[in-house]
Every structure is written in C-alpha cells, then in structure tokens.
Structure 1
C-alpha cells in the first residue's frame, strides 16, 4: 500500500501532503476519469471555448506588442544544451578565508572573504594561450601549476604535461624529470603544503622539487628534483599513485601521498602488481593494425596487488620507515583504506581484511613504524560500510577523533552515526554524538576549539541531505544549519576552509541549484551562484514533475520516485520506463535537481519514468542494506517487479503492456536480470555497459558484497549472477545492448559473452558497440548518438514495433 508523501515541485510549490496516490497524480495534472454527464460537459466546453476565444482576441487587441508563449516541450537537444545544466561554484581553499576560483569567463581569481578583497591571478586569454585545462595555486599565491594536454587514464587519474606559471612575471616554464630537456607526460603533480615545493610522479617514481629555479623559460625545470623512489615500473610497481583497483574501489583519488600539515613529512603507498593478471582491450582508432591496451585488473578470487606504506622526512628522504600493520591484518591478504596525520609523531591508518568484514584503525609511530590498535570492529553478516576518513582534533592533548560507525537502534538494527573516539587508551572509548533511525552520510569538519562536529545527514528525509552541527559535550545538542535556508532546497553538499571559519554550501535540489558561502562564527552569508540563466530558460519549458511514495514490502519500505509528464492526459494509458541501478548502498530516489534523458522521455513521449530503491539500497539501516549480501540479482531485482505491480494497481492511467526497464553498469545487470526473470511485467529493456557475470568483475568491489567464488564460500551466488545462463528468457522481448569496446571498468567481455549466449538461443536483439569508448561513453558525439538510438528504441517499443522474434535461417 502506498504511503502519503510530502513533495516539492521544482518551481517551489508544495504538493498536498495527505492525499492518496491516485489523487496526488490527478492534482498534478488536473483531472480524473470518473463517469460524467458527457452531454452537459460537451455543452459546457463549447461555452467555455467561446469565452476563452473572446478573451484571447481581446488580449491580442489590447496588448499587440506582447508575445504569447505556451510552454514548450523539453527537446532532445536540451539534454546536451549547457543552458539546461546547472553551474556549480567550485573553490580551492588556500586558507581560512581565502580561496581561488575560475569565474564564468574562465579567469582564475582569488578572494579573501575576511578582508573583502579579490583580484585576477590569470586571465582567460593567458590561460588559453598557456593551454591549461586544470590548475592549482600554491598557498602564497606566487605560482599556478597548470595541467596541459590532459589525457584521462582511469576514473580519477590522468596524464598531463605541466607548466609552472609565475604570477608576478607572467611567465611560465615546463616541468620535467631530471636529465630531460623537454616536458613529458606526468602521472601526477601537486604543490607541497605551505610553499612552492612540488611533488610529482614520472614513470611510477616520485620526485621532489624544493623550489622553482629561475632561468630560461624555454628549458623545463626538473634537474634539481630529488628522486624519492627508484623501484617504479610502469604497469607493475606504482609509487605514490594507485593501481587501477585501488583507485577505483578504495581510494577514489589519483594519488597515494599523504603530507603532514607543515609539508615536512609524508607517507606514501607502493603497490606491487607483479602477480596480478592483466586485462586487455583492443585500440582501433586511426591504426592500420589494432593495438592491445593492457593493465592490471584482479578479478574476484584472483591474486590481488600487495601494498606497503612508507613514511619519510623531506630533510632525510633516504631514511624511509615502513608502517607495519597489526597481526590481525598482516597474516592474510589485506588493504589499507585511509591515512591521516594525527601530529608530528603519529599517523592513523585504517586497514581492512580481504573479505572487508573486519576493519582496524591503528596509530602508527613515525620513528619506528610500529602500529597499535586503537579501534576494531567486524560485521559477520555483511560488509564494512566506509563513509570517509576519521577527523582528528587539532590540539596536542587529549587527542580524539570522529568517524561514522554503526549504532544500534533497539529493534530497528544498526544505523550509521557520528562517534567520538579517544586515543589515550586501547581500545579507544566510543561515544555516539548522534542517534536515531536515520543516517549520517558524511562528516565534513571537526572543530575541537568550538567543540563542534559538522555533518550531512538524512534526518529530515531519506531523500534529503541537510548540514548539521553537533556539540561534543553533553547533551550533544545538534542544530540544522541548512534546514529552511532556501525555498525548495533540501539536498546539500559542502566544503569547509582549512580552519573551519568558512564553508561553501551547495543546494543541489529539488529546486534550481544555488551556492552560498557562510561564516561559521556569524550569520554572514554570501550568495555566489543562483543559476539565473537556467531559471529563465526553464520558464518557457514544460518539464516533468517528480512525485514520491513509499510502499511496504514485509518489514521493509521501498521508496519510489515517478516523473510525471507535464501534459499528462488521465484519459489515456501511459507507458512506464523503470530506470534502475540497484547496486549495494546506492540511492536513485532523492531530492537532487535532474533533467536529462528522463525529462526528455517524459516530455516527448509522455512516458512515466520510475525509480525504485529496493532492498540493498542505502541509508535505511543495515537490516535493509544487508539484504543483498551475497545475493546479487535477487531482492534488488524482485523489488523492481514488486514496485511496478503496486504502481499498476494504484494508477488506472498506466498501460501495463508498455512497461520497460533500463540501466547502466550495475543497473544494466539489474535490467537484464529483470527482463530475464520470467515475470509478466517488463516488455522491453536496455542494458548499457552491463556486468553479465560477477566472476568477470574486480576483486575488491565484488568480494566486499559477494564473498569469494569458491565452493566453501559463495560459488552458487556467483553462478546466479550469470545473465548469459538466462538468455533464452529474453526471447520475444525487445532488447537493446550497448557497450564501449575500451571499457576498463566493466569489460566488453561481459557483453560479448552475453551476445554469444543470446545468439545460441536464437534471441533477436539490437546491439550498439562504441569503438575505443570507455565505461562512461562520455564522448560528446557518442552521447548524442547513444541517447538518440535509446529514444528511438523506447518509442518503437511503446508503439509495439517489435523486433522480429523469430530467426529464419
């Protein structure tokens, strides 16, 4: 049964909070389908039309200079039009009140909020002449590090040629390695905290450049750089940078270098992929003979990379100490997850065992590398949920830190909350600062001097993200800093300056996104982005309204989001397209502002697009989350079917014969599983870059949720994820399969294997493969082509223009 829900439209108007589901849709579109006196209605309509015509004529006579515009539908071109994409105000904090920013004209500017001063560091013209596409300003604003000729590598990493731009002289010089006379591609480069020194990685070895020498601008600098490591080997040994699997699944960053606050000491990770098997894909573009790209990629159950952490001082780079993990970790395969400097003498390291159901935080001594356990916990019925590195107090004593840990909520199970942990005893003493049947999604700042922790949570609604502060002193008073701050804004993210004196607050929806800057000690607020151009562009557009429901499935609630077409006719039957992701801990139903392809489908073809967060999705506690543990392709797929069945029962204006499902990546897997699950709900489906057998996916992600593909663990669970084994069940349905041949994440092997099985089962399908394209298919031409064929496929499917379901040989 549907539960009533409060919803706000994108225009800021609230929907009625207490109505039935059918009533809510009717009020959105203005009508119902009850029996009526049709003759009386017809006569009334004639009279009304006559009156309206007279009014319109009168308006044109009285106001001949005014344009008369009816709302226009959201067009295909609007998906890609930058006018319909919100602008986000990005900042690089330099100090407590100072930051740099690229303005709307591509000038790099600085601002000091405390002094109310600003200036231009680099004009757009000079930036264009230098060829810089990424930039970083050093702390004293004397130089800008520019990344040029950028080539994306993986999700976070890239190769680039770097320049050092002198702000005072207006000159630039290239950056290279010792002994080289020209700039070369570097895997990583960055400023060292507190000055003009640089750290960079060339051919998987680390280099330290203490200062920028003055000399010939035409000769790149680098001869005076000190080589920190000498073991680097491309594709095998990675120093200071992660390999593919660590970058993708654990670190979510392009480097593995961790500096002390004053920039005098550092910890770096070294990854050894010698025993890791290689993944390969062909490269076709402009080559007479294709080439093979190769990289280390451990699949579930196979050999992982090994890792070590070293600590060293800039004053004595030759003296490097290895941080030693505790025996509870080191005797088997393990990972490191977070490294945080506590003070000059201590480093906090978070370690995980290979199954990722045991985590331990250690405090490691800089001088000896010895690591002592401070806090450990395990989750035998699921996996460790990580929501960021711990944040330590800035004082010397007593030292404590805050992190997000599971907190028991009586009969409701565990929910994730802010915990304060001491370090003066082992194990550390834990005090929870928040509690309730809602969750903290991230801790964004910890101010020991103010005795406050700042965090983002779902306390207001599972769909929302609001900024709060909570006191570290009893009774742990908490305050919502973003609630009711802006009309129609309930989903926020934020970033704090280094001393927590200012923070940037991004409203991401459901209304038009906007950005403000806030001083933590006062009520001072600066509005820096309102997206006025987007607001104006949408005034003449008819785009969908989003409405929300919850349905009860046993003891679990399933959130549902529906995109209601702007010109919905309740007297006709409307098609449904379910957009699914379904991965563990994910969330599709939320208050973020969205347009894109879903808005186009709804506006153009009157399709009701539906998102359903099934069991295994995030932010509803561990009981809900762990339903998917070692069970991929089960409950999260079943709940898509269950959700649609409820919708079909509740809404008479939905066509049960025109229900489709589509998804990307894990969503492609879920869509394929749903279409092949022998239900009578889905009639067509689209799978983009799908996993079709989780034995083909990487070890860290897959084993976290599925265990090992071994008979003593979860081999049967892995076999169940083999979509190819269910190929015959897709026969008779419209099915579109899309994949890029250079997908480093979900390998093309998945779709190739799937197509082979579909062909063997004589299933007719439509395929679209994109040569040399990776997982995101983010080339602008590819994006237009992709959404064009998907739109055509959906339209044909709802018009019942089915592919031939029988092969004639």
Structure 2
C-alpha cells in the first residue's frame, strides 16, 4: 500500500508503503463539470462499468441516468469562486518540482565518478549523467533519444506494471548498472538492452531473442555476461559473442521463473526473482507457482475495445503463490531446489549470495509472526537455520540485511532486542549473536552500508530519535565492541530534515540527499573524510510557494507529532475551517520535516483553510508498543488518535474552528477519511476519500494479514474494520475518488461502498478517474484538477474563514 507523500514527491524515482489526491480543479462546481469526470450522487446515480464488474464477479451494475441538465442542476450547497490553479499546474507539470533533480546516484567502483539520472525541468525523460569527483563537474553521457535514434519509447504491459510497483513515473532510463570494474554501464530501455563503454562512448545493443518483454537485467560478477528475464524464463547473454542462452526453461504465466510475484514487489520490497552466484557460474531463481491464486481483471471502461488486463491477486484467506528457490548452472541443466518448511514459511522475502559465504534466504510464516534466516548448500539443496525471529503481532522485514563483512566476521543484521525494539546486531557466520552495535535507544531504521578501511569496519545506518527527521550515522564497530554504552557514532547529517545516503564499497566518496522544511532535495558528494566535494547539479524549477509549516509535539507522554499549515495571508483575528491531511497507516510517517511534503497542503491552506496532520499510533519510529497498537484495530485506534490529536491542536490554537473540520487522504488515508465521517460525524463535517480500502477482505494477503490476522479466525476483526456496515450511518458530505485502472486498491472498493451507500439511501459524490491507476500522479492533468476539486468541495461544505 502506498502513501500520498510517496506519490506526491516521487518524481520518477524508485519508491517504498498510500497517497492523497492532487490536482487543479474544476473552476466552479457548476461551470466546468463533465459527465465523464464528475457525478453528483443523490437519490440515484449509476455509473456504467459493467466490464470491470463482470470481471470482478461483482453484482454491482450502476447505469448512467443523469443528463447534462441534471448535472447542471446538481449544484453544491454554497457557490464558490474559481480557485487559482497556477501553482497546481506548475506542480503537476514538474512532477511535484522533482523533474530536473538528480536521481538514483551510484558510485563508480574506482570511486572517481558518480553516475546519476536526471530529466529536464519540463520533460519527464531521464538521461544519464556523470559527476567527476576530482573536478566537481558534471556532464551528460547518454540520452534515450540517442539510443532510440528518433524512435519513441515503448513499454510492454509487463514493464508498465513493474514501474507501477516501483513507483516510477518518468520515462527514459529507469535504471543503470556498472559492471565489476565500472568500465561499462548496462542500460535497459524500451524493451532493449544497451551496453555503454565509458572510455569510448560507444553503445552496443545486446542481441536478445524474440518474445516477451525483457526485465531486471544484471551483470555477471565478472562483467562478461548479462542475465535478464524474457517472457517467463531467465536468459544470459555472452558479451564476447553477443549470443543468448536460456538458463531456465518451461516458464509460463502460471509458473514464472526469475520474476518476483505481486506481493513481493508491492509489499516486501523485493523486485527481483533471481540472483547471480559470486563465481558467475550459477544463478539462483524463484519459481512462483500461481496455480489456484485468484485472477482479477482490470478493464478500462474508457476503452471498451481493449481487453482487460489480468492479474493474480491473492486476498486474505485465499490461496497464495507457492514460491520455491532453485539453483542452476548458467549453461543450463538440472535445477537443485532448496529445501525448507514451505508449509510453515510460505513467503520467500529476501535472498543474498555474497562472496565467500553461503547463499542466505529469509522465509516468513503466513501470519508474519515468525522469520527464519537460512544458509543453503547449493549443491545438495539442504538449508541450515541461522536464527529465527518472532513477534506476537508481526515482524517488519529488513531486506537490506544481512550484510556480510569478512573483516568484521559474520554479518550485520537489523533485528529486534528482547523487547522487540529494532537494533543493529553483529552476528557470527553461524547466526549466533556476537554483540549489539547500535542499540534500540538510537532508533535505527535501516543499514545503508558496511565497509572496512584499514583495521576498522564501519556501519552506515539511518535513523533518528525524532521521528519527524531521518539522519545518517557512521558507526565505527571497534568502539562499541569495547564499550557498548559509549556514544561515539558520527552524525553525517545534522541539519533538521530528512536525509538519505548512497555509499560505494570502500566508504568514499558517498552521496547524501537532503531536504528540510525550507528546501527541496539536494544531493551532495562527500569524501571519505566527510569533506564536501560538490553538488550533483539540479536544473529543477523551484516552487514559488514556501510552506509555512510548524512541526510540533502535542499532548502528554508519549504525545503525538503533528504539523499545522496556515495560509500565507493568515489573519489571527479569524477562525479558519480545518482540513485534516491524513494517512494514518503503518510503515509511513506523514509528519516529517521535508518541504516537498507540504507544498500542496500550503496551496490548500491558501484557499482559506488551516491544514493539520497527526501521526497516530501504528506509525513507525516510536517503538514496538506504539507501532503494534493497531494490530487488528484498523478501524478504531488510528481514528481515535486523529481525533485526540485534532482536539489538542484546536485547544492550543484558537484560530482552528473545531466545528468546521474536513478530512482528506488517499489509499490508507482514503480509508481513514471515509472512516472519519462514518464513525465520527460529530468531528468531521466533510471528507474526500481517494482510492480507499473499504473492505479489507479485498486487499492483498501480505499487507492485510500482517496487520489483521488470518481468515476465518479473525473474522470479527475484519468485519469491525470494514466500512460497508457503516454506510447506513453516513450523515456528512463524502466525495469518493478512484482510478478505474487501479490494480493496487481495486476500483471495486469504491464501487462496493457506493453500492452500500446508495442502497442505504445516503447522499454522496463519486469521481471516477478513467484509465488512472493507483499512482494517479503520473497524469499531470488529473493531479492538477483533483486538488482544485478537493478545495472547492471543502469550500462548499466548510465555508470561508470568519
């Protein structure tokens, strides 16, 4: 599931987990509606989507019965002046002002250069650039246009779906890969593979076979071959002869080889399904057997002549993919299948195959309360348990670990202490805990890199004791091994904000990308001694709006982190209607010190509102008890905290009119928005719910069962969290927004709630977005107009400042 900030600020870069609507609006509710985009639902509104509904085997059959005259007659309660959408237009066209900023930086193996992707400020096509560490100068290396020789980029449906999973919205180069020495760069583009020779600037297209899209290319460890998945099998291309060889055979759409299944990509953060052996002679690959898994269909009612797209979509209590891991020679031959207790541990969550150590794999129980780290004998297929983690609620995956290091011995692991709190551990090669490197009190959240220099080994990690920030630290292992209570970690970032880092193998140079409440992301290059060497140049447009956001902690311990955004022409003598900008779900912090997160809320505030946000229990960064408080309580705990946080803000800031509060969110935030007006109409007087999950039985297994438990044993908890039984209680204005081509939170969710509301005789509004997926921000026009629609909706129902 995805959060609004991910989509609102992604700009084509690779993701993480729901979002909120964005867009320029319909100028007035009466003047610019169209039957294709907007429907006012009163006593009877029916929307024709029979293609989708029959494919989903649902009984809904809504028929369009409103005429243009009826649409014009369906005026909002209060007429509104047209909102100024010039900022939204710029925001949308620049992909949230992220076009033109460096993306996906990678350090060359020799440490002399940094390669990165960047688009123009007004064109969403990523090109390849090089930054010279010695001179701090950057230059363009390659453009997609030069490789396609004037042709257009064509993506197969499979590649489009993969990019959707990775939250990539820009075109051009989606990724690139250095070979072992960094002399050559592998670039996938438009279903083709190219090798760029850096010394000469020569580019060679690899000769791949016909049939099936080419995805997930990887260099062999020696740089002499390239592996990839074509169709449903793994292939290898030998660069010396430019010829292709099949590594696996017999792959089908039902039983794929080398591809990560849907929930692995969407929920586990695993986008690959095969791994090179360190010697380059073998490949480990996943066989994902979809037999018995439900097939769902996504039809586009806007294009009834187009065949519906099929997707295997496992739902709670239903059949999951059966995954197994095999090892095969790159020359082909028999596969050695690795053995583990598949019945107990049916999820394959992560695989690593590093030099000088056995292949390791992480497997997880379906309840996600047990995780095993296994070491495999790839000749016999036998596996050995290194250690197991357990949690009474759920285990958070850490696919970036284990990180093996020969100098340190064993590996570094982001695991849990006796109380279930996250800590960074040093474990021996046999899995036995050797020492705690970074204790839980530091709130580590990710291991970025582990490297050795001379006699020392360093662990680079991300985390913060303040969940509104994210900092990068360098931990020198001997210091803590001698005195675990010492406080000698070096902070590589200190400015309040959120920071990410990319390190080379030897620890330098490295790139840190930083954003604060007053600045958009900037990427700086540092030497091993942490001296700043230069900045990866940006050509992005800068937003003319500077958010007036206050981030604060409210309430008695443990309290809530909250944000308040006032209009730039704020009048302290007036009371303002309030909009709660909500996500509220797990795995995502909404209240963070990052300017890009508050641009649209600032625009919304400028329309005559005060926008607030609260991070409730269930969000990360506050410890196990806080995070696990929502286990099997999606419908109650997050909403209780949103209400408490709102009341605290209203008590502290008298300019907030607590009698005029709206709520808006997308995905889990859409669920929260609809839940708010249904369960707490005395608090929330209007809601815009984008792509809401309305019935948790219709979301995917790995996400839903992690937090809600299994069916049928958790039947009551699922029923309690569903919005459908609450439809009869709707008393407040509700606008439902959903992309009809959404294959994450299916359009079915909004249709089911619409049906329940209609049958209960409740008034509501529905805005279907034809052909739009869950990542609606890929369409600038939709993004622009949807936010303006949101503003006019709230103006109609909450009024102006008084």
TM range (shorter): 0.7 to 0.9
Alpha-carbon separation, structure 1, partners of 2:658 and 2:90 = 29
Give a deviation string over 1:656-690, Cα, whole Å, max 9, x none.
23200011111111111111114411100011000
Work out the CA distance in 2 between the residues paired with 1:589 and 1:169. 45
2:307 is aligned, of 272, 279, 291, to 291
- Compute the displacement of 1:581 (Å): 1.0
Q: Distance in 2 between matches of 1:200 and 1:665?
A: 33
Name the CA shift for 1:130/1:378 in 2 (closer, same or farther; >3 Å).
farther
CA deviation after TM superposition for structure 1 residue 260, in Å: 3.4
What is residue 70 of structure 2 aligned with on the other side? none
Hey, what's the Cα distance between the residues in 1 that align with 2:95 and 2:629? 41
Secondary structure in structure 1 of the residue aligned to 2:627: helix
**1:644-683 correspondence to structure 2 within 5 Å:** 644-683=646-685
Where does residue 109 of structure 2 map in the other structure?
Answer: 95
Does residue 452 of the first structure (1) align with residue 458 of the second (2)?
yes
Map of 2:244 onto structure 1? 225
1:91 aligned counterpart, secondary structure: strand
CA contact (8 A) 2:270 2:349 kept: no
> In structure 1, what is the Cα distance between the partners aligned to 2:613 and 2:268?
27
Corresponding position of 2:352: 340
Question: Are the counterparts in 1 of residues 85 and 784 from structure 2 also a CA contact under 8 Å?
Answer: no
Shift of 1:250: 1.6
Separation in structure 2 between the aligned mates of residue 722 and residue 618 of structure 1, nearest angstrom: 23
The 10-residue stretch of structure 1 (698-707 or 433-442) with the greater mean CA deviation from structure 2: 433-442
Q: Find 1:248's aligned residue among 266, 282, 291.
A: 266
Q: Deviations over 1:281-317 (max 9, x none)?
A: 2134544x45322111110010111111112343x53
Cα displacement (A) at 1:644: 1.2
Q: Describe the shift of the 1:774–1:623 C-alpha distance in structure 2 as closer, same or farther (beyond 3 A).
A: same
SS state at 2:513 partner: strand
Flag structure 1 segments of 5+ consecutive residues without an equivalent.
Answer: 1-71, 150-159, 214-220, 802-809
| 2:464 pairs with 1:464 | no
**In structure 2, what is the Cα distance between the partners aligned to 1:212 and 1:766?**
62
Q: Which residue of 2 aligns with 1:552?
A: 555
Whole-angstrom distance in 1 between the partners of 2:588 and 2:643? 18
CA–CA distance in structure 2, aligned partners of residues 272 and 240 of structure 1: 12
Whether the 8 Å CA contact 1:560–1:589 is kept in 2: the answer is yes
1:257–1:114 Cα change, 3 Å: farther
Residue 345 of structure 1, CA deviation: 5.3
Is this contact kept in 2: 1:685–1:735, CA < 8 A? yes
| Aligned equivalent of 1:499 | 506
**How far apart are 1:85 and its partner, in Å?**
1.5
SS in 2 for 1:652: coil
The residue aligned with 1:6 is none
Structure 1 residues 277 and 403 mapped into 2: Cα distance closer, same or farther (>3 Å)?
A: same
CA deviation profile, 1:335-360 (whole Å, cap 9, x unmatched): 11111124345111111111000011
C-alpha contact 1:638 1:674 (8 A) present in aligned 2: no
Tell me the SS of whatever aligns to 1:349. strand
Report the counterpart of residue 61 of structure 2 in structure 1.
Answer: none
Q: How does 1:232-311 map to 2 (within 5 A)?
A: 232-234=251-253, 236-253=254-271, 255-261=272-278, 263-287=280-304, 289-311=305-327
Rounded Cα–Cα distance in structure 1 between residues aligned with 2:387 and 2:345: 20
Q: CA RMSD, aligned part only?
A: 2.9
Match of 2:133 in 1: 113
3-state SS, counterpart of residue 228 of structure 2? strand
Sort the Cα spacing of 1:782 and 1:118 in 2 relative to 1 into closer, same or farther, 3 A.
closer
Match for residue 428 of structure 1 among 419, 427, 432: 432
What's the offset of the Cα at 1:263? 3.4
Could you say if the C-alpha distance between residues 791 and 161 of structure 1 is closer, same or farther in structure 2, counting changes exceeding 3 Å? Answer: farther
The 3-state SS of whatever aligns with 1:728 is: helix
Q: Structure 1 residue 763: deviation in Å?
A: 1.4
Contact 2:739 2:747 in 1 (8 A): yes
Displacement after TM superposition at 1:528 (Å): 1.3
Equivalent position of 2:765 in the other structure: 766
State which of 367, 391, 399 in structure 2 corresponds to 1:388: 399
| 2:412 counterpart SS class | strand
Partner Cα distance (2:300, 2:620) in 1: 37
Deviations 1:493-519 (A, max 9, x none): 011113333211011222312211112
Q: Deviations over 1:164-221 (max 9, x none)?
A: 56664746546431xx4xx8632443333432422122221111111154xxxxxxx6
Distance 1:421 1:233 in 2: 40
Structure 2 Cα separation of the partners of residues 109 and 290 of structure 1:
38
Distance 2:750 2:270 in 1: 26
Name which of 327, 344, 357 aligns with 2:369.
357
Contact 2:102-2:537 within 8 A present in 1 as well = no
Deviation string for 1:217-254 (max 9, x for gaps)? Answer: xxxx6xx31111112112x111111121221112442x
Instruction: Report the equivalent of 1:323.
Output: 338
Deviation at 1:319, TM superposition (A): 4.2
Residue 610 (structure 2) pairs with residue 601 (structure 1): no
Specify the alignment match of 1:475 in structure 2: 483
8 Å CA contact 2:95–2:780 kept in 1: the answer is no
1:109: Cα distance to partner?
Answer: 3.6
CA distance in 2, matches of 1:441, 1:267: 28
CA contact (8 A) 1:393 1:400 kept: yes
TM-score by length of 1: 0.78
Match of 1:176 in 2: 208
Q: Does 1:401 align with 2:411?
A: yes
Query: How big is the shift at 1:692?
Result: 0.2
User: Cα–Cα, structure 1 residues 251 and 322, in superposed 2: closer, same or farther, change >3 Å?
Assistant: farther
- CA offsets per residue over residues 617-649 of structure 1, 9 Å max, x none? 111111111110111111101111111122222
Query: Which one is further off, 559-568 or 526-535?
Result: 526-535
What SS class does the counterpart of residue 772 from structure 2 fall into? coil
Corresponding residue number in structure 2 for 1:716: 716
CA pair 175-763 structure 1, distance change in 2 beyond 3 A? farther
Preserved contact between residue 469 and residue 478 of structure 1 (Cα < 8 Å)? no
2:632 alignment partner, SS class: coil
Per the alignment, residue 28 of structure 2 pairs with none
Tell me how far 1:418 sits from its aligned partner.
Answer: 0.9
Q: Which residue matches 1:52? A: none
8 Å contact from structure 1 (residues 437, 621) kept in 2:
no
Given that 2:451 and 2:505 are in contact with CA atoms closer than 8 Å, whether structure 1 keeps it comes out as no
Q: Is the 8 A contact 1:335 1:352 kept in 2?
A: yes
Q: CA offset at residue 75 of structure 1?
A: 3.1
8 A contact 2:452–2:506 mirrored in 1: no
Aligned to 1:524: 531
Which gives a bigger RCO, structure 1 or 2 (Cα 8 Å, sep 6+)? 2
Q: Is the 8 A contact 1:96 1:499 kept in 2?
A: no
Indicate if the aligned counterparts of 2:576 and 2:608 stay in contact, CA closer than 8 A. Answer: yes
- Of the structure 1 ranges 76-85 and 466-475, higher mean CA displacement relative to structure 2 is found in 76-85
C-alpha spacing 1:483/1:552, structure 2 compared with 1 (3 Å):
farther
Deviates more, 1:789-798 or 1:78-87: 78-87
Cα distance in structure 2, aligned partners of 1:549 and 1:489: 13
- For the residue of structure 2 that corresponds to 1:79, the secondary structure is helix
- Picking from 358, 361, 373, the partner of 2:385 is 373
With over 3 angstroms needed to count, the CA separation of the structure-2 counterparts of 1:210 and 1:127, relative to structure 1, is: closer
Partners of 2:574 and 2:537 lie apart in 1 by: 38
Is 1:136 equivalent to 2:176 in the alignment? Answer: yes
- Secondary structure of 2:87's aligned partner: coil
Question: How many residues were matched structurally?
Answer: 679
Counterpart of 2:425 in structure 1 is 419
Give the deviation of 1:389 after TM superposition: 2.9
CA distance in 2, matches of 1:436, 1:200: 39
1-side partners of 2:788 and 2:605: how far apart? 15
In the other structure, the counterpart of 1:192 is 220
2:467/2:589 contact within 8 Å kept: no
Q: For residue 613 of structure 1, report the CA deviation from its aligned partner.
A: 0.8
Deviation, 1:610, is: 1.0
CA displacement at 1:484 relative to structure 2: 6.2
Q: Secondary structure at the match of 1:623?
A: helix
Alignment of 1:67-86 (within 5 A): 75-82=87-94, 85-86=97-98
